[in-house]
Structure 1
Amino acid sequence: MYHKEKSIQIKSSASALYNNLSVLPIAERSLTYFTVVHGNVVNMVSASGDGLNFSHRQLQSKEGNIPASSSLIIQAAWCVLPLRVLLVLTSQKGIQMYESDGSIMVYWHALDIPETPTAQAVFARGIAAARGKYICVGTSLGSVLVFDVPCKGSNITLSEVLEEHREPITDLASESSENEDCVAELVSADDSGLLCVWKAGEDFQLLNKIPAYGCSSVKLWCGVVVAGYGSGQIRLYDGMSGVVYAEVNAHARWIYALDVAPKTGTLLSGAEDSLVRIWKLNKSAENDTVEIEHKHTECVTDVQICGAKFCDGEGSAFAVTGYDLSEIIRYTLV
């Protein structure tokens, strides 16, 4: 079903972090950007459509005006807004926002560091764009920071802080809503497994809380919350009611990454068990059910998978990263 393509070499290996791969396809230029985090560095690669030409850039962790920092980067992800695309980096010190090609840092937000050291680490993790003008970022304190982003320039402001979680945020996911009814537009997950479902806007509204356990990765598709867990399970929930549509024992070990191709409802999961699995989600409006069907499995031998992302909205290609692996492995549909 999927065929392995030539891998992309990167300058340093992938750290063992949740969702340690971000992909940005740029169709009009026949390019695809990839980012992979290693320590205090983000490896950024642009690949041509034919897979023959590559360009490399490395971004380092920064603290305001300090050129480089030793603080670890936790995540890097592109946020696609209607009029601009920003590359967002989160670290132990703060949040950096760059223009999409990583050339210019347009915004820096410092995290609140306690004056007296505590046992709990301080970091930001979980990145998602929401409602066309907001970028949301989670923190180790359980807060979700909501930034209001203008269509151009660096006048980015912290507009709201969402305080429903009590444990470190593990992941955020969003989906644009086409109407003004209370439709799930953002979901946040934390270390305890709690999922909070939000409606985005000038004031974010909490729609629902879904308790669970050890959620590492989460996605939204057509109002359905897709959550991956440390148990290797994938659960599908109704975002508004919290009803469980389906539960699948998808992997033998911890799930590190999920992704959904929005145009087809194809789901991708990657885990510590060296397996990447492809699933098909089907939603029935008639009887209000969602089904999940297994379609394909790839085994990346002896690799602890830590990142897996589709390279387009249809799910016709995907890429994978693994802990201590200095390459991005690519697959295309045949």
Structure 2
Amino acid sequence: MFRRERSIPLRGSAAALCNNLSVLQLPARNLTHFGVVHGPSAQLLSAAPEGVPLAQRQLHAKEGAGVSPPLITQMYESDGSVMVYWHALDAGDGSLVQAVFARGIAASGHYVCVGAWSGRVLVFDIPTKGPNIVLSEELARHQTPISDIATEPAQGQDCVADTVTADDSGLLCVWRSGPKFKLLTQIPGFGVPCSSVQLWQGTIAAGYGNGQVRLYEASTGTIHVQIDAHARAICALDLAPEVGKLLSAAEDTFVHIWKLSRSPEGGYIEVEHCHGECVPDTQLCGARFCDPSGSSFAVTGYDVAEILRFSSI
């Protein structure tokens, strides 16, 4: 069971975007960073464990070299204090009425993957020290805009799927990261967008626009489980890696927590529903666990100027 904790106020409400909440826990400093997109800017907050906001920044797209803000991907230090790199996105030959955006971002080792409206995934190589960030390669397997990207540490194993990219057609591409990313398998869509993906112990959790959550074997694309989890489109998924808890949130105002586990034989995934929480009159747009054990989580809602927090009883 979970109970509502003290909310964290925002200077502006969360935009109606899927996966519109990021959480970075810094145990050594006893702090948690929260990131929320609002219009053309990102709000970055630092909060103490009890939810007391300690600092808040707004990161605005900055123009450079004649490039307009919507065509820029920017990278900052974790506290938002310093912009360390920016990259101009190429609008190409797209229509003048076509939306141009970056969507979906995840880190795999020292690589950062960023999805784009064109269906391409930009892979940036981040050095251990210094700001010499370079665009390593572009992955071009998707034909529709990228919707989300998820990664999982490969722990030095060969032939391990550690990156998955999703798009608005529902297609999933599974990759092994490295100096050259290798495509391992593709999982076809079925007519609805895949809005959010996660990876856990070689299992892909994918949330779709019809409210379904599907679990696939990452290496083969075989489906393990299909869950009719929500009545409306899923807006966010998250995983607590230490315990295998899956968090799902949707436009139906509900947040659900599921326990994933492998069968003793290791052949299939078992799913148990652990908790359901309704956030009345709120179109949810972001949800994340606040710790790797899944003992607390936070959600954002469209036109709601606060981050709602919940912790286990």
User: If the TM-score is normalised by the length of the shorter chain, which range does it land in?
Assistant: over 0.9
Shift, 1:65, TM fit: 6.4
C-alpha distance in structure 1 between counterparts of 2:54 and 2:230, whole Å:
33
Moved more, 10-19 or 54-63: 54-63
RMSD: 1.5
**Are residue 294 (structure 1) and residue 254 (structure 2) matched?**
no
Query: Normalising by the residue count of structure 2, what TM-score does the alignment of the two structures yield?
Result: 0.96
**CA distance 1:115–1:244, shift in 2 (3 Å):** closer
Shift, 1:164, TM fit: 0.6
- Show the counterpart of 1:4: 4
**Are residue 200 (structure 1) and residue 177 (structure 2) matched?**
yes
- Show the counterpart of 1:45: 45
**Are residue 280 (structure 1) and residue 291 (structure 2) matched?**
no
1:87-236 mapped onto 2 (5 Å cutoff)? 92-114=70-92, 117-130=95-108, 132-212=109-189, 213-236=192-215
Shift, 1:120, TM fit: 2.4
Q: Could you tell me which amino acid in structure 1 is paired with residue 134 of structure 2?
A: T
Does the 8 A contact of 1:63 with 1:93 survive in 2? no
C-alpha distance in structure 2 between counterparts of 1:172 and 1:154, whole Å:
24
C-alpha distance in structure 2 between counterparts of 1:64 and 1:134, whole Å:
24
Aligned residues: 311
Percentage of pairs with the same residue? 56
* Helix, strand or coil at the partner of 1:136: strand
C-alpha distance in structure 1 between counterparts of 2:72 and 2:48, whole Å:
32
Shift, 1:286, TM fit: 1.3
- Show the counterpart of 2:292: 313
- Show the counterpart of 1:64: 64
Shift, 1:115, TM fit: 6.0
C-alpha distance in structure 2 between counterparts of 1:62 and 1:286, whole Å:
53
Does the 8 A contact of 2:125 with 2:133 survive in 1? yes
C-alpha distance in structure 2 between counterparts of 1:173 and 1:333, whole Å:
26
- Show the counterpart of 2:309: 330
C-alpha distance in structure 1 between counterparts of 2:310 and 2:117, whole Å:
34
For residues 9-50 of structure 1, the C-alpha deviation after alignment (integer angstroms, 9 at most, x for no partner) is 000000000100000111011111101111011111111123
Structure 1, unmatched stretches of 5+, are: 72-91
Query: Normalising by the residue count of structure 1, what TM-score does the alignment of the two structures yield?
Result: 0.90
For residues 57-111 of structure 1, the C-alpha deviation after alignment (integer angstroms, 9 at most, x for no partner) is 1111223368x96x5xxxxxxxxxxxxxxxxxxxx31210001100000000011
* Helix, strand or coil at the partner of 2:28: helix
* Helix, strand or coil at the partner of 2:243: coil
Q: 1:264 aligns with which of 219, 230, 243?
A: 243
**Are residue 304 (structure 1) and residue 275 (structure 2) matched?**
no
**CA distance 1:222–1:148, shift in 2 (3 Å):** same
C-alpha distance in structure 2 between counterparts of 1:237 and 1:292, whole Å:
13
For residues 96-140 of structure 1, the C-alpha deviation after alignment (integer angstroms, 9 at most, x for no partner) is 00011000000000110236744421111110001x210000111
C-alpha distance in structure 2 between counterparts of 1:274 and 1:149, whole Å:
38
Shift, 1:152, TM fit: 2.2
C-alpha distance in structure 1 between counterparts of 2:179 and 2:64, whole Å:
28
